[in-house]
Structure 1
Amino acid sequence: MIPVSHLFDQSTLATLLDHDPVVADYRAFFSLIDWSLVEQWERSQSTHRRPPLHSERAYLKAFLLRIREGFLYSTQLRQFLLKHPLLIIDFDFHLVLDPQKPYGFDAQKTLPSRFWLSKKLRWLDQGLLQQLLEATVSALQAQIPGLGETVAFDVKHIYAWVKENNPRAYIKERFDKDQVLIGDPDCKLGVKRSTNQEQPDGSTKEKKELLWGYGSGVAAATTPDYGDVVLAEYTQPFNENDVTYFRPLSQRAALALQHFPTHITADAAYDAWYIYEAAARHGGIAAVPLNQHGHLVYERASDGVPLCPKKLRMHPTYQFNHTYGYRAQRFRCPLLFPQATGNTCDHAQFGKGKGCVKDVNWERGARMRVSLNRESPLYKAIYTQRTSCERINSQAKEIGIERPRVHNHRSVANLNTLTYVIINVRALSRAISINRGLLQMI
């Protein structure tokens, strides 16, 4: 709605809207977002409730502006909009009309209070935000052929807005993981970084850098010409291991892409058999460094069959469902199975009459994990794409994702999703510009 005032009639206000540089900038930015999803969401809400004063679209535009402008607080967002009343009109807030005001409405009465803006951020529908992010991926696919053939996974740490994260504040039980913090009852204590420090006696001691907060997991893809794209994101409290992000991220990425990626890459924290399984099922590989997690290493043949301590290829007997959820294969001593050869062995287990026994994870992913050639050109080419997540994390940090000024999990998660929407919209704008330039060269 375009109001009318004692200074400007509607045609003048419409002209001001069309020529204001700030309005023009945000119109161009928002034109790359699929707002029909918001309209569908609004129609799906219960008709028995009183309709909201302002549309969901107006709130989402305001929160995207908050992140894009680098504002930490709702107060800053509100003050900015008060200084740019044309944005209030263009964002489609429900105006409190007042012809005596310069722009025909009372901006103070129109805008929600700081308290309500903070509350609304918390109660945004996370499902709707995920749909908006998925829509940016679809739009990017239309511009970038082959997007998502290789997907990288990583986690970015986020500091909760609590005094326990302030090293200058005296906290008696700063790192008591069982306490519930007053500043943010949803955040958890986790390890940001772990290093080994050499002691005077030559030994090493593990040093852990702890923080209270959240982890923002991302699935990303990159192309040489178009740069980096966020395919999916997922937020959890920081006490969860990195590998727990994989399944929700891979599901969301496949939903956004409408296909499964061929190859997967991540750091050593993702060295789990089901990561490789996800790639093996679709004819690809998982370029992940091997991490034994402190377990003993035993030798394998090139096809994954274990070798006994005497370097003999062990004999497969039967398969069974392991309690850890995978299909396992039992291997026995080759000197005793399938029948005794008459040869002897000095191993203790052989003396007991049963020989060595190994129960091996025999899923395709588990076999890929131990047999993958990590020096091959294919592995190295895919693994280098892992840096796309690092660049996405760098962009997100620059926008302000690392230290949000909110006090709960829902608000952090909503800010994170909106941050990645902004990153993808920027990527989409860049891709459209590149493709337009290529067409002009033809």
Structure 2
Amino acid sequence: MIPASSHFDQSTITALLHHDPLVQRYRTFFSFLDWSVVEEWQQRRSSRGRPVEQPISASLKIFLLRIQEGLIYTQQLRKFLLEHPLLMIDFGFDLVLDSHAPYGFDAEKTLPSRQWIGEKLRALDRSLLQGLLASTVTALVQEIPGLGETVAFNVKHIYAWVKENNPRVFTEKGHDKHHRPTGDPDCRLGVKRSTNQEQPDGSTKEKKEVLWGYGSGVAAATTPTYGDVVLAEYTLPFNEGDVTYFEPLYRQTVAALGIFPTNITADAAYDAWYVYQKAALHGGIAAIPLNAHTTHASSRATDGVPLCEKGLRMVPTFQFAHTNGYQAQRFRCPLLHPQPDGQTCEHPQFVKGKGCVKDLNWELGGLQRVLLDRTTPLYRALANQRTSCERINSQAKELGIERPKVRNAQSVKNLNTLTYIVINVRALNRAKSINRRLLQMN
């Protein structure tokens, strides 16, 4: 709705909207989003008889503006909008008309309170935000050939807005994992980094950097021409291990891309057989270094068959469902199975008459994990793509993701999704510009 006032008629306000550089910048920014996702959500909500307050598109736009402009506090966002009332018209707010006001409406009464905006951020529908993020991935797939063939996974730490994260403030339960900070009871204590420091006597002492907060998991892809994009995101309290993020991120990635990624890359925190399984099932590899904390793997032949301590191929007997969720293959001593051959061995198990027994993960992913050659050019090229997550994390940090000024998990999750939407909109703008230039060259 275009209002009119004693100062400007509707045609003048329309002209102001058309020429205002800030309004035009955000019209361009929002044009990259698929607003049909929002319209369909709004229709479903209305069909259930739920009341509609301010248009959800207007709320989404102010929260995306908050990220884009780096307005970390809600009060800053509200002040910015009051200083730019033309944005409130263009964003589609239900205006409180006042013909005596310069732009024909009372901006202070139109704009919801700081408390309302904070509650609206917390109450945003997660499925709506995820759908909007997925729509940016769909648009990027149309612009970038081969996007998502290789997907990188990583987790970014987020500091909760609590006094326990302030090193200058002493808190009696600052490192008690059972403690619940009053500032944000949803956050959890976790280890950000663990290092060994050398002591004066030459010994080493482990030093852990801990924080109260959350982890923002991302699945990202990159190409040399178009740069980095976000394919999926998932937020958990910071006490969860990195590999916990993998399954939900992978499911979102497949849904957004419409295809299964061929290759996967991540750091050693994702060194789990089921991560390799996803790549192995689709003819690819998971470029992941072996975790130094895992137990030493048994010696294997090139086909995965284990070798006993004498270097002999062990004999497969039967397969069974392992309690850890994979199909296992049992191998027995080659000197005793399928029947004793008269040779002897000094191994204690042989002396007992049983011989060595090994139950090994016989899934494609389990085999790839132990047989993968991590020195090949292909492995190194894929492993290098892990840096796409680091660059995405760097962009997200610049947009304020690391220290959100909200005090509950739902608001943190929503701000994270909005941040990645902004990153993808920028990537889509970049991709379209590159493609236009390429077409002009032909």
Q: Same fold (TM over 0.5)?
A: yes
Alignment of 1:226-237 (within 5 A): 226-237=226-237
For residues 216 and 172 of structure 1, what CA distance do their matches in structure 2 show? 28
Change (3 A) 1:234 1:419: same
Deviations 1:165-205 (A, max 9, x none): 00000111211000111000100000100111223333322
Q: Which residue of 2 aligns with 1:358?
A: 358
Q: Which residue of 2 aligns with 1:115?
A: 115
Q: Is the 8 A contact 2:32 2:425 kept in 1?
A: yes
Deviations 1:272-324 (A, max 9, x none): 00000000000000000011534233211222211112222111111100111
Q: Is the 8 A contact 2:66 2:77 kept in 1?
A: yes
Counterpart code for 1:182 = T
1:429 aligns with 2:424: no
Q: Which residue of 1 aligns with 2:215?
A: 215
- Secondary structure of the residue that 1:45 maps to in structure 2? helix
Q: Is the 8 A contact 2:275 2:365 kept in 1?
A: yes
Q: Which residue of 2 aligns with 1:189?
A: 189
Deviations 1:129-157 (A, max 9, x none): 00000000010011101100000000000
For residues 50 and 280 of structure 2, what CA distance do their matches in structure 1 show? 51
1:75 aligns with 2:75: yes
1:18 aligns with 2:18: yes
Change (3 A) 1:265 1:50: closer
Q: Which residue of 2 aligns with 1:341?
A: 341
For residues 234 and 255 of structure 2, what CA distance do their matches in structure 1 show? 14
Q: 1:48: Cα distance to partner? A: 6.0
Q: Which residue of 1 aligns with 2:289?
A: 289
For residues 170 and 382 of structure 2, what CA distance do their matches in structure 1 show? 46
Q: Which residue of 1 aligns with 2:330?
A: 330
Q: 291-300 vs 365-374, which deviates more?
A: 291-300
For residues 320 and 50 of structure 1, what CA distance do their matches in structure 2 show? 52
What is the number of residues matched between the two proteins? 442
Counterpart code for 1:321 = A
For residues 231 and 304 of structure 1, what CA distance do their matches in structure 2 show? 34
For residues 104 and 51 of structure 2, what CA distance do their matches in structure 1 show? 24
Change (3 A) 1:48 1:219: closer
- Secondary structure of the residue that 1:251 maps to in structure 2? helix
1:52 aligns with 2:70: no
For residues 145 and 295 of structure 1, what CA distance do their matches in structure 2 show? 41
Q: 1:365: Cα distance to partner? A: 0.2
Deviations 1:400-419 (A, max 9, x none): 00000000000000000000
- Secondary structure of the residue that 1:317 maps to in structure 2? strand
Q: Which residue of 1 aligns with 2:151?
A: 151
Q: Which residue of 1 aligns with 2:128?
A: 128
Q: Which residue of 1 aligns with 2:405?
A: 405
Q: 1:357: Cα distance to partner? A: 0.6
Alignment of 1:273-312 (within 5 A): 273-312=273-312
RMSD between aligned residues: 1.0
Counterpart code for 2:91 = F
TM-score normalized by the length of structure 2 = 0.99
Change (3 A) 1:266 1:438: same
For residues 88 and 216 of structure 1, what CA distance do their matches in structure 2 show? 31
For residues 343 and 53 of structure 1, what CA distance do their matches in structure 2 show? 83
Counterpart code for 2:362 = W
For residues 69 and 81 of structure 1, what CA distance do their matches in structure 2 show? 11
Q: 390-399 vs 311-320, which deviates more?
A: 311-320
Counterpart code for 2:108 = Q
- Secondary structure of the residue that 1:440 maps to in structure 2? helix
Counterpart code for 2:19 = H
Gap runs ≥5 in structure 1: none
Counterpart code for 2:255 = L
Alignment of 1:373-412 (within 5 A): 373-412=373-412
- Secondary structure of the residue that 1:13 maps to in structure 2? helix
TM-score normalized by the length of structure 1 = 0.99
Counterpart code for 2:122 = R
1:169 aligns with 2:188: no
Counterpart code for 1:251 = R
Deviations 1:51-81 (A, max 9, x none): 3331000000000001110011111111000
Q: Which residue of 2 aligns with 1:93?
A: 93
1:313 aligns with 2:313: yes
For residues 312 and 323 of structure 1, what CA distance do their matches in structure 2 show? 28
Q: Which residue of 2 aligns with 1:65?
A: 65
Counterpart code for 1:284 = G
- Secondary structure of the residue that 1:215 maps to in structure 2? strand
For residues 433 and 97 of structure 1, what CA distance do their matches in structure 2 show? 40
Gap runs ≥5 in structure 2: none
Q: 1:261: Cα distance to partner? A: 0.2
For residues 169 and 439 of structure 1, what CA distance do their matches in structure 2 show? 58
- Secondary structure of the residue that 2:75 maps to in structure 1? helix
